[in-house]
Amino acid sequence: MTKVLVSDPIDQAGIDILSQVAQVDQRTGLSPEELKSIIGDYDALMIRSGTQVTADLIEAAERLRIIGRAGVGVDNVDVPMATQRGVLVVNSPEGNTIAAAEHALTLLLSLSRHVPQAHASTMAGGWDRKKYVGNELYKKVLGVVGLGKIGSHVAKVAKAMGMDVMAYDPFISADRAQQMQVRLSTLEGLFEQADYITLHLPRTPDTENLVNAELLATMKPTARIVNCARGGIVDEPALAEALKSGVIGGAALDVYAKEPLAADSPLRSVQERLILTPHLGASTEEAQENVATDVAEQIRDVLLGLPARSAVNIPGLSAEIMERLKPHLQLAETLGLLVSQLSGGQVQELEVRLQGEFAEHPSQPLVVAALKGLLSHALGDRINYVNAALEAKGRGIHVLEVKDEASQDFAAGSLQLTIRGDQGGHSVTGAVFADSDLRITSIDEFPVNVSPSKHMLFTRHRDMPGIIGHLGSLLGEHNVNIASMQVGRRIVRGDAVMVLSIDDPIPSSLLASLHEIEGIKEAHPVTL
């Protein structure tokens, strides 16, 4: 029976979805040793931020096919090891977008109006209105560092509140920034000019302690900074010192380098101008249900053999691209599987030629799909979209990508895979016709027009009378039924290829007889 382990608390909506396809075991609060001792029994693991999915844990998870993180960040998952083992890692990149953006805005407003301090004072019996005179956000400059989904939403709401928004994001084009009515800036320029700064970056080696003492010193003495993104982006001791010495006007943090925040953290010694919250960015009822539902649906789909929407370790395969390129990916995988069975030997190089409109699509997903098909015949279920590129590299297969936008053999372009190896080379070409109809359009440069089927037979032979009849008779004698047949040739009485769709696989004894037919140079049974 398919089994899913849920090792962190998640919303019941996610449990209900998983229960449709698997036995779901909820076991939260497990120690690393306890988790490692049982993980080998499970096909899927669903987590939040509490469970640390280490390399050792993944090594012990012999059945594991997918890890689902109910949230955005996957820094508690050893993604490279999961990729190496062919384990899919998925998250919910949009499930808590609104919650995180609203919390960042909440902290901006709270900083401006001293809400937490005024509340504590009033609850203690005070009524000090003069002490808590605040500032308006209207017409102030907001610097947004990172214009992803959360940062973009913060910028949109801030614009609606009348703020002047500038941003730093090296991956946002000037046209996109203009559409958002946001001024692009360097990081240094943003810190120098902004009245408020909000961070929306992942934690990477490049962003760790990005906001350090030097950068803080460039801010206006009245400026305030908010971090609801990832802990470790801000140098916490440097921030504490900047607040105590009046270098900046205030700060609000929801995330920390180490969580929970240590009792002796220098941040706890700051008496004024600082707001701390315990990682509440995604802590709304709506967000918790959204991320649980999103990730549970992806785990369910993968267990049913369907693609995931938000895999973090499938290069270039976002949900949008997956949907748009679905038939193209299927064609690439089918052609890869086909050409691998035509080769019959060790593959040293795969050339992926994207022609016509195919060249306008993102190429990396198509290359990954072609590699998955190429290696599936030899590796079976071990190969998937996650580890296909790694497996190919480990086997010394050189991948060559060629774009030929001028080629317009078909209205929607075509995809050609060519392999070269110790047994020579083969090439296959295919296209996607109307209504996602997949067609094989050439074999080794011989023109054909065939729909892929489960069982097929490909031959290379001399174009001479009697060969087709002889081959058909042999198949009939072995009770192999022909569904369709097509011959492709370039010149009369030269070489030709024959493609047969058949209802049954070719018995090994029959294959030997086919090779004995005069004029047949190659015969390759194929299962797709």
200 counts as catalytic: no
Instruction: Please state, as a whole number, how many other Cβ atoms lie within 10 Å of the Cβ of residue 521.
Output: 10
- Please tell me the CATH code under which domain 3-95+287-303 is placed: 3.40.50.720
Reference 223, options 292, 137, 288; nearest CA is: 137
The per-residue pLDDT for 246 is: 96
Reference 152, options 172, 123, 170; nearest CA is: 172
Identical fold, 3-95+287-303 and 97-276: yes
Annotated catalytic residue, options 188, 259, 323, 518: 259
Annotated catalytic residue, options 176, 279, 324, 420: 279
Reference 211, options 145, 273, 286; nearest CA is: 145
Which DSSP helix (H) or strand (E) runs through 164?
A: strand 164-168
Q: Where are the domains of the chain?
A: 3-95+287-303, 97-276, 319-452, 454-528
Candidate CATH numbers 3.40.50.720, 1.20.1270.10, 2.30.30.90, 3.40.50.1970; the one for domain 97-276: 3.40.50.720
86 burial via Cβ count (<10 Å: 0-12, 13-18, 19+): buried
Q: In a 3-state reduction of DSSP, which class is residue 350?
A: strand
Candidate CATH numbers 3.30.70.260, 3.90.700.10, 2.60.40.10, 3.30.70.360; the one for domain 454-528: 3.30.70.260
Strands 437-443 and 224-227, by their bridges, are unpaired
Instruction: Please state, as a whole number, how many other Cβ atoms lie within 10 Å of the Cβ of residue 131.
Output: 10
Cα→Cα distances 54→90, 205, 349, Å:
16, 19, 34
The per-residue pLDDT for 410 is: 55
230 counts as catalytic: yes
List the beta strands (DSSP E) in 422-512: 424-433, 437-443, 446-450, 455-462, 482-489, 495-502
Cα→Cα distances 524→456, 497, 507, 514, Å:
8, 11, 12, 10
Domain 319-452 in this protein, CATH class: alpha beta
Question: Which stretches of the chain drop beneath a pLDDT of 70?
Answer: 171, 315-323, 344-345, 379-382, 394, 405-412
Annotated catalytic residue, options 230, 328, 353, 361: 230
69 counts as catalytic: no
Rounded to two decimals, the pTM is 0.63
The per-residue pLDDT for 223 is: 98
